[in-house]
Structure 1
Amino acid sequence: MTCPRCGREQPPGGSGRFCVHCGRVLGGVRWVATTPDAARPSTPAPRRAPYAGPPRYRSIPRWSLWPWAARPEPGAPDGPLAARTPAEPAETLRATAGLLRRLAVTTALLCGVAAAGEALRYVLLLLSRDRALSGTLLGWSDAIVALFGLLAPMAALATGVVFLRWLLVARGIAADASDTRPWRSTRMLLLGCVLPPLTLTVPGATLAEIEHAGSGADPTVRPRPSRPVLAWWAAWVVGVVLGVVTLLQGLADSTQALADGVVLHFWSDVVAVVVALLTVRVTAHLTELLAPVLRERGRSYVVVGGDAATRSSTVVGTA
C-alpha cells in the first residue's frame, strides 16, 4: 500500500492504519476517477436494412424441410397405420439388376486374380523342372491361389442367387406383358438352373423365352434368341462343362494330373470372368426391354418475341 502523503510503499509487517514513515493515517479505499458512460464514445448500432420482400434464389434450392406428418396410432379414431406400398415389379427388377451388376463385376475381378494366380503357379511348375525356386515366391503363389480360390466361389455363389431372383422377377413381368403363363414352375426352374445336365439348357432357354415374351412377339412362334442371349448361353455351357471336368480331374493324385488341374483351374477362372461380364450385358439388355426407364430427349429452343420481357423458352422432343 502507498502512503498518500509521502508516496512510500508500506512494508508487509507495518503498523496497519498509520504510515511507518510519516505517521499519516492510511486510507482503506483508493478512489479512482473515470469518465461517465454518457461521455464515452459508443459504437453506432448497425442500421437495419429495409424489407425487400421474401427471399429469392437464382436457382432451385437443394435444401428443404423434412416431409414429416403425424401418423395415426393403432386403435386410434383415425384408424390403423397405413401399410407400406409394395414395390412395383419393374422397380424390383431394376433394383435386382443393379445389385446383380455389382456382384457380377466383383466376381469377374476375383476370378481374374485367381486366374493370374493359377498362371503364376503353372509358370513356377515349368521353372521347377531344372532349377530350385524361391520359398518366398512359392509362398506368395500358394497364398494367392488359396485366398482367391475361396473368395471367387463365394462371390460367384452370391451372384448366382441374385441372378435366380432376377430371373424369377423378369419371367413374371414377361408373362404379364405377353398375357401368357410360364410352363415351367418355379421349383422346376430353380432345379433346372442348379442340377446338371439340366443346367446346360434351362437358364439359356428361360432367357430366350423372357426376351421373346418381353418383345411382344407371337407366343406361338418359337423364340429366336438375340446375340447377347446366345453369347451368354454359349459361355455358360462352356463354363459348366469345364467346371465338371475340373472337379473330376481333381480326384486324381498323380503329378501330371496335378499339373493338368492347374491348367483346368486357370481356364475355369477365365471362363468365369467371361460369364460374369456377359451376365451384366444380358441382364441389362433384358431389364431395359422389360422395365425401360423413360429419358428426356430433345433440344431447347429460345423463342424471342419483341423485347426481353416477352422471351420464353420451350423444350420439345421429350420421350
Structure 2
Amino acid sequence: MTCPRCGREQPPGASGRFCVHCGRVLGGVRWVATTPDAARPRTPVARRRPYPGPPRYRGVPRWSLWPWAARPEPGSPDGPLAVREAREPEGALRAEAGLLRRLAVTTALLCGVAALGEVFRYVLLLLSRDRALPGPLLGWSDAIVGIFGWLAPAAALATGVVFLRWLVTARALAADASGTRPWRSTRLLLVGCVLPPFTLTVPGATLAEIEHAVAGHDPAARPQPSRPVLVWWGSWVVGVLLGLVTVVQGFWDSTQALADGVVLHFWTDVAAVLVAWTTIRVTAHLTELVAPVLRESGRSYVVAGDGAQRSSTTVAGDGAQRSSTPVAG
C-alpha cells in the first residue's frame, strides 16, 4: 500500500492504519461514528395501553385497613371479621338512611324551585288580565315549570324507592332485635305503601310499629306514635291527598280550571317539600333508635358460602359468642 502523502510504499509486514514513514492515515481506512447504544440489541417498545379505570368488584368490598398499632389478632374476638359482623346491620341501615337524606334534600330543593315557578306563572296570569305580556317572560315561565315539573317528580320517585328500602330494612332489624315478627309480609307492605287508599295508613303505621318494637313495649299493646312519626304521617296524608286532587283537576280544561291548577300545583310542591323535610327527621329519629339496640344485642348474620348454611349469631359486649342457631339458606 502506498502512502497518499509521502508516496512511499509500506513494508510488507506493516499492517497498521498509519504510514510507517510520515504517520498519515493510509487510504482505504474509513472511520464510522456510532452511538453508545448502537451495539445493544433493539427490543420492540410495548404500546402503552389506555387507562382502564379503577378496579371493579362484583360485590361491595368488605375489606379495610387497620392501623398497625391497633391491629388485633385474626382469631381474637375483636378481630376484623368480628367487628365487621357486629357492625354490618347497623352500617347498612345508616348507609340507607344517609342516601335517603341526600335524595330527600334534592327533592326538597327541586320542589321548592317548582313552587316558585308556579308563583311566577300565577303572577303572570294576574298581569295578563289587562295587558299583553312579553314573549321572554312567558318562555321563562314555561321553561321553569316544564323542567322542574319533570325533575321534581323524578327525584321524589327515587326518594320514595329508597325510603321503601330503608323501611323494609328497619322493620326487619327492629323485629329481630325485639324478638317479634311483623304481621304484614314484605309484599303487603310494599303494596300498601303505593296503592291508594292504603298508602294513607300503611307507611305511618309501619313507622309506629318500628318505634314500638325498638322501645321494648308490649307487642300486644297498641303503638303510640311519637311526635316525629305523627308529623310525618300528617304531612304524608296531606301530600297524597293534594296530589290526587291535582291529578283529577288536570282533566278539566276551562280557564278557571287552569288557574286553579296553578294554585294546586303550588300547594302540592309545598307539601312535597314538607314531606321531604319530615322524612329526613323521622328516618334519622328511627335510625338512632334501631342502631343502639342492634349494637347492644350484637346480633349479626354471616354467610359461610355458596350452598352452606346461614348462621344467626348473638355476640355479647365482650365479643364472646353466646348462641348460634343455624337457618337454612
TM-score range, shorter chain: 0.5 to 0.7
Map 1:102-251; keep pairs closer than 5 Å: 102-251=102-251
Unaligned 5+ segments in structure 2 are 6-23, 25-65, 72-83, 296-329
* Counterpart code for 2:223: P
Three-state SS of the structure 2 residue aligned to 1:217 is coil
Offset, 1:85: 7.5
2:301 corresponding residue in structure 1: none
Rate the CA distance shift 1:63–1:212 in 2: closer, same or farther, 3 A. closer
Offset, 1:89: 2.2
* Counterpart code for 2:226: S
Three-state SS of the structure 2 residue aligned to 1:291 is helix
Give the conservation status (yes or no) of the 8 Å contact 1:170–1:290.
yes
Offset, 1:63: 9.7
Offset, 1:155: 0.3
The separation in 1 between residues aligned to 2:88 and 2:169, in whole angstroms, is: 11
Q: Deviations over 1:6-31 (max 9, x none)?
A: xxxxxxxxxxx9xxxxxxxxxx9xxx
The separation in 1 between residues aligned to 2:168 and 2:67, in whole angstroms, is: 40
Which aligned runs of 4 or more in structure 1 are off by greater than 6 angstroms? Answer: 84-87
The separation in 1 between residues aligned to 2:244 and 2:270, in whole angstroms, is: 15
Q: Deviations over 1:269-303 (max 9, x none)?
A: 00000000100000000000001398xxxxxxxxx
Offset, 1:241: 0.5
The separation in 2 between residues aligned to 1:87 and 1:253, in whole angstroms, is: 56
Offset, 1:88: 2.4
Q: Deviations over 1:31-85 (max 9, x none)?
A: xxxxxxxxxxxxxxxxxxxxxxxxxxxxxxx998xx9xxxxxxxxxxxxxxxx97
Q: Give the TM-score taking structure 2 as reference length.
A: 0.63
* Counterpart code for 2:238: V
2:303 corresponding residue in structure 1: none
Rate the CA distance shift 1:152–1:202 in 2: closer, same or farther, 3 A. same
Number of residue pairs matched?
Answer: 222
Rate the CA distance shift 1:85–1:195 in 2: closer, same or farther, 3 A. same
* Counterpart code for 2:203: P
* Counterpart code for 2:169: V
Please say which structure displays the higher CA radius of gyration.
1
The separation in 2 between residues aligned to 1:86 and 1:146, in whole angstroms, is: 48
Offset, 1:184: 0.5
The separation in 1 between residues aligned to 2:87 and 2:158, in whole angstroms, is: 23
2:283 corresponding residue in structure 1: 283
* Counterpart code for 1:220: A
Q: Give the TM-score taking structure 1 as reference length.
A: 0.65
The separation in 2 between residues aligned to 1:182 and 1:265, in whole angstroms, is: 37
Offset, 1:239: 0.4
Offset, 1:217: 1.1
* Counterpart code for 2:281: R
2:264 corresponding residue in structure 1: 264
The separation in 2 between residues aligned to 1:151 and 1:85, in whole angstroms, is: 39
